[in-house]
Structure 1
Amino acid sequence: MNTTRRTILRGMVAAPVASAAGGLTLPGQAAAAERYRLKGRSAPTGASAYSYRRAINGLSSLLGGPVSLNEVLTRTPALKADRVTRWPEDQDDGTKPRPDKEPEELLYAFRWANADFVDKNWRPQGITTTYDANGSAPATLLVSWYGRLAAEKQGARISVVNWNATGDPTYQHVLLVEPYGLRDDGGDRYDFRESDLHAGGIAWYGNKLYVADSMIGTTGLRVYDLDRIFKVTKGPGLGRQADGTFHAHGYDYVLPQCYAYDATGSATRGFTFSQVSLDRTKGRPALLVSEYRAGGSCRLARWELGSRSSGYLSSTQASWQAAANREVRVQGAVRAANGRYYFSSSHGTKKPGQLRSWREGAAAGRRESYLNIGCEDLSYSRINGRVALWTLGEYANDHESDKPSHLDRRAPFSRYVYAVKP
């Protein structure tokens, strides 16, 4: 999580915490007067004559139709990640390229290809797997990144990762974009622009990808249809070019936004949509949204989903909301089958993060194990009957300070994607 992205994200400072009716009321706090609510939106808020659907259909006719996730990994050369089975050894100069205290049990892990492993212009944030999508063992992982520094105006991207427990993963980047359509003297003109997102957390359900949007002014959830990925011409710039081709800042693929859920009402607008995960522990699957707060207590809310074939919410009113007392700097949250919630909690560029657990009604949570420096989102899965919590690190030895003395030699080794046993 970063505080310098274009606008300051909500929820970074201490504020009064209240839990809603139906959730947990903490000592000394009154129940909120209203549930958190969302309002569906099917068209861009900026200049556009048409809905997302019509704009995507218009782009489809110009780009030759969508490609599948499998085609993304096979139509163009994929990048190769390195599977790892343990944290690396100490370096020759005695510095430790890992947290001071390692996760209790590292189940699976890989590190990105070298260019992405050290790239300071992009930071990994969210993670979700095919277990979220359809309940099957993870075979494809999706990871979100946000652009910063030289890539800030490129918005956000996802990495489609072909994963298995024994081989080296391969992956390909896809740029997230917002489609729109205009009408001029020449008729309809369809195009796309960047998605201005921090992309701090993602959840995959059916064929829909939900991305948490914590940017002031657009707080809520953005929705992308994974059956509508498009191949574009590789080249600089974004959108329609003078020769009629479409570019995406050098990427081969774009994924256009197909819907949005915006926060509505004073209570919801004060709630930060920092992360989102899939909750399969109830009778109906739901999205669990949690917030990053530097002070106060992390608040959570759950929105129930409809059928997997549609992939959309069944209700725009939260079915549950609560506050986890004294849980701060939460980067990801999931609910396990035993009713326990797990949080990833970060501690900057110098200290390892923590995996913490919490139950409703508890005065405070507890530490389960240590995570890497710069830990981020969480995703729950079961692999061969074994529960695994997936997480990842964001830093690439890029502390905000320009002073070399402030750089942490261990930070590059935080940029792993890995699963631990809770």
Structure 2
Amino acid sequence: MKHRGRHRRRHRGRALRAALAGTALALTAAATLISTSQAAGGDNPGGVARVTAAAETAKFRLHEDLVDRSTLDTLTQATGGAVGVHDVLASADRVMRDRSDCDAAETAALPVKPSATRAYCWDRQDATTARWLPRSVTTSGDADDRGRWGRDRVILSGWTHNDDDLAEPAGDRGLARVAFVDANDPANLPYRWALLVAPSAGGRDFTAVRSGVSGMVWFQDKLFVTDRDALRVFDLRRILRAGVDSPLIGRTRDGYAAHGYRYVLPEVGSYRLTTGPCSSSDDGAAPCFSALSLDRTSTPPSLVASEWFRPGGGGHPARVWRYPFSTLPGHRGLLATDAHGDVRADEALRTDATGVQGVLSFRHRGASEPDWYVDRAPTVGGRHGTLWRQDASGASAAVCSADESRACWGRHTASLSYWRQSGELWTLTEGATSGDDARGAGTAGGRVLYAVPLDSVDDALE
């Protein structure tokens, strides 16, 4: 009954907004300025507008390039065979801290409204390092409709090397790693790192994958990771061991090394924009990939993407779009392609939100169109962000203070992932190492992984 009542309220709210649209047009410019200044988490981005022109939708087109199966088999055999996700979890060597053990900077990064129902902080070494930046999250709730991978509940978090520190070795620049978090026991979340690599020399060697991992989605046995003008794909059934503890990456005289990591995740394919180069400053060019999420409420399930512009950066409207996953045998977990190996977006929209750190599309039961949840960075540094819910008729966000501030979401948040089985929306904060606009270097701290029920997000908006 609660769900039906909430949806009725939402539909009544939309009807009321439509009925008042004419009245809204009569508001004076002064009143408009007052309204937008009160939206302290960022001006109201309004509704989303559909992109339909063929010249515009062509900018989202991708071309699929898969690594040859024999290359992958050669590398798998050379490294001693593949291991499973459960094996990585079983060898976890770090443990996340529960909210009660987080410090003041970490808890201050949590949302004001709605409040997080679960929150975890990283091992102290990862929580304070300025060498790495947490950027994305996905879960076994994305991977499988049962919410588990085999018998395990799993959270994956993508981190990239902080290249703003010029004192770091040149060989470390752009490195990307993934935390495999064992989420079977909500009171105890151990984890282990794996390095992202790409096969080389016909599978006899591998090299580092260098990516910002600002977006990541786990669907079936594939992991999609953003790389500016491309999506890189990894196979969770091909996790490999690196038996040599060395700062080197690849084949050595004594075996395979991975910068000190025990496990590597080799790339099995990529999808590259066909109309590049992309631009993060021109909304008329091909879009650069920023955030990713999975929409299981579409048919078939779809990969949702967004681009990123600086908050308030010249009024550039950001684009959000989706690609359908394939339903063909032998194309498990991959995107749907045409006879030429091209992937076309089957929906694209514009939003006036800038500084988009995360995006989620979700069609509520009984609704004809999905709602778009957009995590928007503040235009003023050091503040909390704003989580907007948008549709064609407008946008709404929680209000969390007497001055009607909408800066209620987490601080320095990045990425959104919906775990359908628990109804939770998961995200993480990048910490003080990442600035609100330039994502620049600084003192690390304030990194937290947290969950909020999507129902609570909707209730806060209403």
- The residue aligned with 1:334 is 360
Aligned residues of 1:120 and 1:398 also touching (Cα < 8 A): no
Please say if 1:190 is aligned against 2:223.
Answer: no
Q: Deviations over 1:236-269 (max 9, x none)?
A: 21111123x1101100000000000000026976
Partner of 2:445: 412
Q: Report the residue type matching 1:286 in the other structure.
A: S
Query: Contact 1:99–1:351 (CA<8 Å) still a contact in 2?
Result: no
Note the C-alpha offset of 1:42: 2.2
State whether structure 2 residue 188 is matched by structure 1 residue 168. yes
Mapped to 2, the partners of 1:378 and 1:304 lie a distance apart of: 19
Where does structure 2 lack aligned partners over 5 or more consecutive residues? 1-47, 279-284, 338-342, 365-369, 400-405, 458-462
| Closer/same/farther in 2, CA of residues 383 and 353 from structure 1, 3 Å limit | same
Identity of aligned residues (%): 28
C-alpha distance in 2 between matches for 1:33 and 1:102: 38
Measured after TM superposition, the shift of residue 235 of structure 1 is 2.0
Q: How many residue pairs are counted as aligned between the two chains?
A: 362
1:58 and 1:41, CA in 2 relative to 1: closer, same or farther beyond 3 A? same
- Alpha-carbon shift at residue 154 of structure 1 (Å): 5.7
1:286 pairs, out of 302, 307, 311, with: 302
1:326-361 deviation line (CA, Å, top 9, x unaligned): 2110111011232211111223751112211111x2
Tell me which residue corresponds to 1:235: 246
CA distance in 1, matches of 2:78, 2:88: 18
Q: Deviation of residue 24 (structure 1)?
A: 0.8
The partner residue of 2:420 within 364, 382, 392 is 382
Which residue number corresponds to residue 4 of structure 1? none
Distance in structure 1 (CA, Å) of the matches to 2:421 and 2:100: 17
What corresponds to 2:177 in structure 1? 157
Moved over 6 A (4+): none
Query: Is the partner of 1:115 in helix, strand or coil?
Result: helix
| 2:39 is the alignment partner of 1:24 | no
TM-score between the two structures when normalised by the length of structure 2: 0.72
Normalising to structure 1: TM-score of the pair?
A: 0.78
Deviation at 1:307, TM superposition (A): 3.6
Q: CA RMSD in A?
A: 3.0
- Give the aligned partner of residue 131 of structure 1: 141
Tell me the secondary structure at the aligned position of residue 136 of structure 1.
coil
Q: Distance in 1 between matches of 2:220 and 2:345?
A: 20
Task: State how far apart, in whole Å, the 2-side matches of 1:335 and 1:252 are.
Answer: 36
The 3 A distance-change label for structure 1 pair 362 and 311 is same
Q: 1:297 to 1:61 in 2, by over 3 A?
A: same
In 2: Cα distance, 1:207 partner to 1:407 partner: 36
Give per-residue Cα distances to partners, 1:292-318, cap 9 Å, x unaligned.
112312201110002497111113111
Distance across 1 between alignment mates of 2:359 and 2:199: 30
Structure 1 counterpart of 2:332, one-letter code: S
The equivalent position to 1:302 in structure 2, one of 322, 344, 360, is 322
Report the counterpart of residue 352 of structure 1 in structure 2: 384
Match of 2:428 in 1: 392
8 A Cα contact 1:142 1:159, kept in partner: yes
2-side partners of 1:113 and 1:310: how far apart? 35
Counterpart check, 1:319 vs 2:346: yes
Which of 222, 229, 232 in structure 2 is aligned with 1:208? 222
Counterpart-to-counterpart distance in 2, 1:399 and 1:364: 25
2:137/2:217 contact within 8 Å kept: yes
Compare CA radii of gyration and give the structure with the larger one: 2
Q: What 5-or-longer segments of structure 1 have no aligned partner? A: 1-19, 44-50, 183-188, 401-405
Q: Matched residue of 2:201: which SS? A: strand
Residue 119 of structure 1 is matched in structure 2 by 129
SS in 1 for 2:126: helix
C-alpha distance in 2 between matches for 1:363 and 1:341:
11
Q: Offset at 1:175?
A: 0.2
